[in-house]
Amino acid sequence: MTHEEIDDLLVRPHDFWFDAKQASAKISALRSDPKPGVVDVISSEILSGNILLGSRDSAQLAARLAATCGEAKVVLTVRAQKPMARSVYQQYVKRGGRLKIEEFLRFAPEPGYFWFDPATLEFHKVAEAYAAYFGRENVMVLPQELLISNRPQYLRLMFDYVGLEESVAEHELAKAPASSISPPLSGAPLLRIANSIGQSPFNPRSRSRIAPLGKLIERVGYRWTLGEAKAKQRADAALDAELSNRFGKSNAILQRFCPVDLKKLRYEMDD
């Protein structure tokens, strides 16, 4: 299933109109015939909820998957919280955001509206929610850092978990081209200017007469790497100020679902 198909079937429908039986029937119709070496997978980052809006739908989506997929094994991929929050900010700018990272992390919306909430980075909450629906033995957490540092081990753990005996030799692994690449932090000031002019998910109506100027500034922003080291230092300082000493307890619980040592991968961890 594509992201668009998953969105149409599981994410987009309002609670009042979501039909679990209909969604389950559509998923069943897409299943492969049972045979060795084949595992049907539903995978999309949108199933974790919209993190720019605080992932308010994360628990709802877990319930919908449980109601439509039946017995399943769940693999949750995570990333250390500070790098994750930095990436979220970069995606926010990419989607049309105009706040500096300090403002983004501290922004408090008015009642009834939602925003990125660092509490959503307490990933153990997600793992426990899926464990409640699918069983603790059917939930595994794998860190993205392991995928980068030891791809064969990452895939071996995943394959063993779902009962596949495929080879994961490095020369057999096809590396997909990068997609949804975040802009450089050094280019963020230019992109914020472009976002005040052009059209984006956060700004659906552009200033049409000068929209081409916005596109030009955007292209420059994606290529602007001058001062990247300093921009990262500033971002890390903002992240340290807002997020330090916040996730150790959560990660200690998360460790129960993860077969590798998260502390060695620089996850904050309470003893």
Stretches in the chain below the pLDDT threshold 50: 170-171
Q: ∠ CA 119-93-107 to the nearest 5 degrees?
A: 40
Q: Is residue 23 part of a domain?
A: no
Q: What is the CATH number of the domain that holds 121?
A: 3.40.50.300
**CA atoms of 82 and 172, how far apart (whole Å):** 32
Residue 164: what pLDDT?
87
Residue 171: what pLDDT?
40
pTM, rounded to two decimals: 0.90
Q: Is residue 143 part of a domain?
A: yes
Q: Is residue 147 part of a domain?
A: yes
**CA atoms of 88 and 49, how far apart (whole Å):** 13
Q: Is residue 67 part of a domain?
A: no
Residues 6+ apart with CB under 8 A from 256: none
**CA atoms of 268 and 37, how far apart (whole Å):** 37
Residue 168: what pLDDT?
65
| Domains: count for the chain | 1
Give me the domain span that covers residue 134.
73-170+244-265
Q: Is residue 13 part of a domain?
A: no
The torsion angle over the Cα atoms of residues 72, 75, 81 and 85, rounded to 10 degrees, is: -80
Q: Is residue 112 part of a domain?
A: yes
- 94-151 pLDDT, tens digit per residue, is 999 999 999 999 999 999 999 999 999 999 999 999 999 999 999 999 999 999 999 9
Q: Is residue 65 part of a domain?
A: no
- Please tell me whether residue 271 adopts helix, strand or coil conformation: coil
Q: Is residue 95 part of a domain?
A: yes
Which phi and psi angles does 33 have, rounded to 5°? -65, 135
